[in-house]
Amino acid sequence: MVPGIGAASSAAERMVEGARSSVVEVSVGRRGGGAGVIWPVDALVLTNDHVVSAGRGGRGWRRGRRSSGPRVTLRDGRAFDAEVLKRDGRLDLALLRLKDAPADLSPAAVGASGALRVGELVFAVGHPWGRPGVATVGIVSGLAGERGWTRHIMSDVSLAPGNSGGPLLNASGEVVGINAMVSGGFAFSVPSDVASAWVSGFRTGRPRLGVGVVPAGVRGDAGLAVALVKAGGPADRAGIIVGDVLLGTEDGASFGGAGALFEALARAGETARLRVLRGGEEILVSVDLEASGPERAA
């Protein structure tokens, strides 16, 4: 074996093995289910909405007489009943909380889907046809926001029944998508930035800046360019303007995607201190946050 290829193969093997500890099986009643990811927010489990909709009419977890609620099985075989905290059929996401959850869960590392590029190597982990922890590999074929597929990452990883809700991983083992469906021979995954933002919003009154952002493509593809500012909102009051680039937080965290921004706001408390690039100069801006209801701006 060529030494370079052998080293890369060993690195991928270690990466996949490490990632498998955060991948769970999700089932509803006696029906086959899918996969899920232990998310690094309160040790919750993220999966697809259609995975927990296993009963008649897609509402099995709500109708206990026809099928029981979701049950989550960890990599080591321990199984726990779970409750559905939140679900979204449009995004095909569902958020679960384990009942009597153990303290030794292994949350996944979540990456920035906005940093993906077409041709990049990605891996899928799931339980196709009931075989636990199966991994497949492919490349990114198309990205969310490009013409033709506005809401999903498109790749050629191999998926089958039982993969739904499992992670799409980058070469570093970070979750960059939640595998959702197959169409035309391609796999489609919900971007991790979308999933992170959705998970962060499961608590009511989530803080927002009052801005609309797009990937900036600066400083190693990190940063979010401000495309709109809501008049009178927190960002407007702090002096953030259209054209600013939100680089990250004062503590050094970077905004590789909208999900990272939402996570930072959720952790910030009442005030967020943000690194902002304006006119080629980096400045520090303090933003007094406020809780708000659902809206499109961050």
Mean residue pLDDT across the chain: 83
- For this structure, is 42 an active site residue? no
Mark whether 127 is an active-site residue.
no
279/209 Cα distance (integer angstroms): 21
Q: What is the dotted CATH code of the domain comprising 206-292? A: 2.30.42.10
pLDDT reported for residue 5: 58
Residues 239-298 have pLDDT tens digits of 999 999 999 999 887 887 776 787 777 767 678 899 999 998 999 999 998 655 443 345
Residue span(s) of the chain under CATH 2.40.10.120 come to 1-203
Query: Which residue intervals of the chain bear CATH 2.30.42.10?
Result: 206-292
For residue 50, indicate whether it is catalytic.
yes
Selecting among 22, 49, 92, 200, the annotated active-site residue is 92
Residue length of the chain: 298
pLDDT in tens, 183-230: 999 999 999 988 887 887 664 455 678 888 888 865 554 688 998 898
Q: 67, 164, 189, 200: which is the annotated catalytic residue?
A: 164
Active-site residue, from 22, 27, 49, 50: 50
Pick the CATH number of 1-203 from 1.10.10.10, 2.30.42.10, 2.40.10.120, 3.40.50.300: 2.40.10.120
